[in-house]
Structure 1
């Protein structure tokens, strides 16, 4: 089962996605998600210029060897571009292996350990009343877990606010980044009131989450965690910039609110200390950005030995291929926690045909062999790449801050 071709597609059906297609000499095709939001063309180039030439002629069945070849064989290792490119190859090869066996990938990973994958939706609003009403809409739709975000009074814009009636939002801007203004003091005063109102009006019969988005210092994050303790949060996410793993030691000393981090991590070494010292409760690495199924499973297996559960990143900047790959892993691991799910903007459904579906607050995989997502090349060609950037943040004095 030799690889005869590998092709890279960049398309923008609502937002930019990078897809890798690998073809074997017996006609099997596998797909991988190589999307890195805001740096899509860098991964596409890494694949086309550096990895695709190495894939031709390799045995598609030797997934582990190919992973090691692409990782250990490169002097410049790690990082989001490298690991996302390797992740796309890895998922495409798992897709091929499943199709060759006539089985969904989760069966090759040991079979299902649960009936479905619990997901959380993204509720938001222009103020507390609107945000709470949006949480109620998710609960009415069957969600068992909801992340709540709201505009902060006095700020022109706030991260995580959905526009329109869809499940997802598009934070990217054309030409150059939008510059948001941030006020930490206003945020820290506001969020406890938002969470308190949500619990007061909707109760405790569901999981409640909140995303800080890397914006606080360790002591500020500790203060936020302590202020939210009465409201039984499922987690607060990305409370400080993720580069400093030691920051979580201070946060942990001051609050018992569960902590989640990891959507910007790319390898097990980025989160090793956080897990081994039990400084977080959930690790949020995603399959596309963490070297595919092969390496993400290594992260989750390591986390399981320390009682840390998974909570994979699953925003709209991960294509249905990447979401499906995550679901196959979610379904099989013993330490599954929760899966982020935002859905995808139209017309993504024209390009990607996914085999999973949402019911009763869980995503369910079908029995289609492989990953279970089909990619329509003709549809993809109708939506060419559009240059876009994520926003940037400045404090009220004009200095740069983490977005």
Structure 2
């Protein structure tokens, strides 16, 4: 079997997605998610001009060899998109050729279903409590809580919603500018946890994302302040490119830590894992090079009792989500899966076998990753310029978003 065609498809059924479609001489196709939020067209050019010409004529079964060739052959290594879409598309083809769902090629199921956490947010605490109720009504076994901060106009994790509670996605030609005040945030977050615990009790697992905005000392303080409320985790409490920074946080608090959604190789995790400075690894299939390296990361983390928690926001397409769910079902050290869901239109463009029921996911048993792209419907929703927000302090200084 050989790859005879490689196509890059861009569609925007509510937000932009980039999909790689590989076709073999036996008529099998494989899909990979290449979405890089806010830089979609750069990825299209990169894949079309530099990556896909290398794939024509290759044996799609040689997944590991192709991954290594793309990683080592470019010389300028790393980056979130070089191997990921290709790797997932090759696994999709390989599993389809075997007539099996992908998780069977990864060792089979390690569990019956996959626990998720949903996103609850509100501009104030009463609105947040209503959002938590909505997530619980969906059956979510755990909830991430994000609240507006008094005095700030716009805060990460607090989005506009429609009548169903689904996030309203604003696409714009320039980034939305959010404002930030760390001291106000640090004062407010413990009161948020206190209110949610008072309303919903001690048993509900609660997560919170600081989104890289704190220094190590500030992160340590927040972790300590949240200990009475027993968070499931504190996510991305400080920019973890400085891996040693997590030593200070770890020494200062027993609050579990989750890190890694912006990482793209195992080298970003070396210190964090070997020194057991975190409890959950957060990388996404789409931004970590695909199924091949993420499975290796999870096996590495398992040696240190660290669990998986694959990044699953709305900007990971159903193709990337499907690959994540197959991994979730297979790996032994699964922890939890983030699940934001997609718009109904997105689910029409990317018809998928995975299901979400009573707060849990299952990949289904369709051969491959179980996603089919409706190319005609995709073409009816072309690219629309969009950026992620940026963040500034009150004096105008750019801050981590």
How far residue 132 of structure 1 moved from its aligned partner, in angstroms, is: 1.5
Partners of 1:368 and 1:171 lie apart in 2 by: 30
Work out whether 1:60 is the aligned partner of 2:60.
Answer: yes
| 1:76–1:167 Cα change, 3 Å | farther
The residue number in structure 1 matching 2:248 is 250
In 1, the alpha carbon distance for the partners of 2:133 and 2:250 equals 31
Q: What is the CA-CA distance between 1:172 and the residue it aligns to?
A: 5.4
Is contact 1:97-1:370 (8 Å) kept? yes
Task: Identify if the C-alpha distance between structure 1 residues 364 and 72 changes in structure 2 by more than 3 Å, giving closer, same or farther.
Answer: same
Matched, 1:85 2:82: yes
Q: Deviations over 1:118-151 (max 9, x none)?
A: 1110001111111012112211221101000111
Q: CA–CA distance in 2 between the matches of 1:134 and 1:122? A: 8
* Counterpart in the other structure of 2:42: 42
Q: Is the 8 A contact 1:11 1:384 kept in 2?
A: yes
Match of 1:371 in 2: 369
Comparing 100-109 with 40-49, greater Cα deviation is found at 40-49
- How does the TM-score come out when normalised to structure 2? 0.98
User: CA offset at residue 85 of structure 1?
Assistant: 3.2
- Distance in structure 2 (CA, Å) of the matches to 1:233 and 1:272: 25
Alignment of 1:328-339 (within 5 A): 328-339=326-337
Give the whole-Å Cα distance in 2 for the aligned partners of 1:266 and 1:168.
29
Q: Verify the 8 A CA contact 1:123 1:162 in the aligned structure 2.
A: no
CA distance in 1, matches of 2:72, 2:88: 18
**2-side partners of 1:211 and 1:250: how far apart?**
18
Contact 1:275 1:306 in 2 (8 A): yes
The one of 212, 236, 239 aligned to 1:238: 236
**1:128 matches 2:125:** yes
Separation (CA, whole Å) in 2 of partners of 1:162 and 1:176: 18
Mapped pair 1:193 → 2:191: yes
Offset, 1:153: 0.8
CA contact (8 A) 2:329 2:362 kept: no
Distance, in Å, in 2 between the alignment partners of 1:135 and 1:388 is 29
Shift of 1:171: 5.8
Aligned to 1:400: 398
The gaps in structure 1 that reach 5 residues or longer are none
Deviations for 1:242-286, whole angstroms, at most 9, x for unmatched residues?
A: 321111001011100000010000010111111111011001011
Task: Specify the SS of the correspondent of 1:78.
Answer: coil
1:109 to 98, 106, 109: 106
From 285, 288, 306, give the equivalent of 1:287.
Answer: 285
Match status 1:138 vs 2:103: no
Task: Name 1:17's counterpart in structure 2.
Answer: 17
Are residues 323 and 167 of structure 1, via their aligned partners in 2, closer, same or farther at CA, if it must alter by over 3 Å? Answer: farther
Alpha carbons of structure 1 residues 160 and 87: separation in structure 2 relative to 1, 3 Å = same
Gaps of 5+ in 2: none
TM-score, length-scaled by structure 1: 0.97
In structure 1, distance between residues paired with 2:88 and 2:153: 40
1:124-203 alignment, distance < 5 Å: 124-165=121-162, 166=164, 168-169=166-167, 173-203=171-201
Q: Secondary structure at the match of 1:301?
A: helix
2:23 is the alignment partner of 1:6: no
Superposed displacement of residue 167, structure 1: 6.1
Deviation at 1:397, TM superposition (A): 1.2
Matched-pair contact (CA < 8 Å) for 1:355–1:366: yes
CA distance in 2, matches of 1:139, 1:325: 26
Per the TM alignment, residue 173 of structure 1 is displaced from its structure 2 partner at its CA by: 4.2
Shift of 1:195: 0.6
Instruction: List per-residue Cα deviations over 1:338-378 (Å, max 9, x = no partner).
Output: 01000012421221101111112210121100000110110
Q: State the match for 2:91 in structure 1.
A: 94
CA offsets, 1:172-203, max 9 Å, x none? 54111111110001100000000111011101
Distance 1:113 1:11 in 2: 34
- Equivalent residue for 1:206? 204
3-state secondary structure, aligned to 2:272: helix
